[in-house]
Amino acid sequence: MEPQRLFIALDLPQAIRQAVAELQERLREVENHKGLHANWNITWTRQEGMHLTLKFLGEVEGKKVPGIQAVLTEVGRVFRPITIQIKGLGAFPSSRAPRVVWLGIEESKGELDRLQKRLDELLAPLGFLPEAREFHPHLTLGRVKSPNGRDSLVKALEDQKTVRLGEWRLEELDLMQSTLQHGGAIYSKVWSIKASN
């Protein structure tokens, strides 16, 4: 069995996906405003590809999958619904040099951080190293493929930096598979845990 490209993520309600898609459309309208055609050269994340990643596992051999599922089952015993705020538009590595355009996620009780750290802790014995970078919860809107139109993109990000998409409850933790294809990655659920209320 070939290795699978896996990650762990919180599932998003369809209403979030729709709201994010509408924001992407507004940004595309800015790009093309008055025939400007800034040509930002962004590959926008498709609705079905939107997720809140907690842990990227990389290429995983099939024999390790049951251990990962056991970790999710363990985490599921204490997993409760998490309420998040989606607000703030930005970019990695910075808004002045955008490579990845993102929407910020805030959660006031620290539950996201605790969940991510618990996954790191339980997955380490399986050979998945803890994240070296600080956890920065976000939704990826798109990936910038070239510096074309950078000035107008930077201005658009600045104009929308205080955007708010409201408050949402996340109630499902998923082991996801990413299959890379010519038109972009295709995502599928391998294993899911529902939050206990």
The single-letter code of the amino acid at 193 is I
Residue 104 Cα to chain centre, angstroms:
10
Per the rule left: phi > 0, alpha: psi between -120 and 50, beta: everything else, 173 is: beta
- Catalytic residue flag (residue 138): yes
pLDDT, mean of residues 165-180: 95
DSSP 132: S
Confidence at 151, pLDDT banded by 50, 70, 90: confident
**Average of per-residue pLDDT across 63-73:** 97
Q: Please give the pLDDT value at position 52.
A: 96
In this prediction the pTM is 0.91
The letter for the amino acid at 68 is: I
pLDDT in tens, 11-52: 999 999 999 999 999 998 887 775 555 678 898 999 888 999
Spot the catalytic one: 33, 37, 51, 182: 51
* Distance in angstroms (rounded) separating the CA atoms of residues 76 and 177: 19
For residues 50 and 22, what is the distance between their CA atoms, to the nearest angstrom?
13
- Name the residue type at position 96: R
Q: Are 124 and 130 within 8 A, CB to CB? A: yes
Cis status of the peptide bond prior to 93, with omega within 30 of 0: yes
- Specify the 3-state DSSP secondary structure of 122: helix
Domain at 4-194, CATH from 3.40.50.720, 3.40.50.300, 3.60.90.10, 3.90.1140.10: 3.90.1140.10
Per-residue pLDDT averaged across 149-153, rounded? 86
Count of other CB atoms within 10 angstroms of residue 118 = 16
> Taking 80 as the threshold, does the pLDDT of residue 166 lie above it?
yes
The verdict on whether 37 is a catalytic residue reads no
- The pLDDT value recorded for residue 37 is 52
Q: Tens digits of per-residue pLDDT, 82-119?
A: 999 999 999 999 988 999 999 999 999 999 999 999 99
Which of 33, 37, 136, 138 is an active site residue? 138
- Any idea where the domains of the chain sit in the sequence? 4-194
Residue 8 is predicted with a pLDDT of 98
Cα first-last separation, the chain: 37
